[in-house]
């Protein structure tokens, strides 16, 4: 149990603290910091200050904050921070369709766009066993475009619950993103909200909700990975929202 969990269990509440930096980002921060020092020693003060800003941005980009995951057997939590930009009824990725995969029938897809200012650690939307991870090389189009789901570099995940319910979700590279980094492997048993991967640097995640499950989020809504409930499995009542 983490200090955060111990404090909550003891009824002490929690205090704000700086989020940790994921190990994947530390090497980039060290490189930026080394260049900053080199520029400063060379007397190139203006460029040194630019790299100070870049170093801080890298640290912020790879931040890995603690999340409080809602506990509910049928909750589907957001795998990514960002804005819901697309909600559409579409065929699932062909790589995830099959006897042991998703049904070959249209599913509700919720797309979450991550800007370069969002946390880029991706989390499991449900608890279960990772049955499939499929990496597909592709283009680097704007991740906001619908066709990015089929054209861009991407990585599909298939997670199966103990009762056989399956969820598919896809990490999609964008204009700036050039690397999809897995943090888990096929056969791993994960809990909802557990870290499973990240994308560098700005991208999108698509989630395919099971049949009979309507999205509980609306277009334009901000999601928090591991905390926002995208849907409740078997609940077909869609969320109603008003932009204001």
Q: Which of 111, 149, 184, 203 is catalytic?
A: 203
- What burial class does residue 120 get, using C-beta atoms within 10 Å of its C-beta: 0-12 exposed, 13-18 middle, 19+ buried? buried
H/E run at residue 33: helix 23-41
Under 8 Å between Cβ of 190 and 184:
yes
Question: Three-class SS of residue 149?
Answer: helix
Under 8 Å between Cβ of 19 and 60:
no
What is the token pair recorded at 51? Answer: 């790299």
DSSP bridge partners of 84? 112
Burial track 14-23 (b if 16+ CB lie within 10 A, e otherwise): eeeeeeebbe
CA distance 190 to 128: 6
| 20 part of the active site | no
Concatenate the DSSP letters of all residues of 150-198 into one string: HHB-EEEEEEE-TTS-EEEEEEEE-SS--EEEES--TT-EE-TT-EEEE
Active-site residue set: 203
């Amino acid at each position: 149990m983490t200090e955060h969990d111990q404090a909550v269990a003891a009824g002490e509440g929690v205090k704000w603290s700086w989020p940790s930096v994921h190990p994947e980002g530390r090497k980039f921060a060290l490189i930026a910091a080394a260049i900053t020092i080199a520029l400063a020693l060379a007397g190139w003060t203006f460029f040194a200050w630019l790299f100070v800003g870049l170093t801080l941005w890298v640290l912020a980009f790879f931040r890995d904050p603690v999340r409080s995951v809602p506990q509910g057997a049928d909750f589907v939590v957001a795998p990514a921070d960002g804005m819901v930009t697309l909600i559409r009824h579409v065929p699932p990725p062909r790589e995830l369709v099959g006897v042991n995969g998703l049904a070959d029938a249209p599913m509700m897809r919720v797309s979450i766009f991550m800007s370069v200012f969002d946390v880029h650690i991706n989390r499991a939307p449900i608890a279960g066993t990772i049955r499939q991870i499929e990496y597909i090389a592709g283009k680097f189009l704007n991740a906001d475009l619908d066709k990015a789901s089929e054209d861009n570099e991407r990585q599909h995940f298939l997670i199966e619950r103990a009762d056989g319910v399956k969820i598919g979700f896809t990490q999609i590279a964008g204009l700036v993103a050039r690397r999809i980094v897995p943090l888990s492997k096929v056969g791993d048993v994960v809990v909802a909200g557990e870290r499973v991967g990240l994308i560098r640097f700005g991208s999108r995640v698509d989630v395919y909700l099971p049949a009979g499950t309507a999205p509980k989020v609306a277009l334009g809504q901000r999601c928090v990975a591991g905390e926002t409930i995208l849907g409740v499995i078997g609940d077909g009542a869609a969320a109603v929202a008003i932009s204001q």
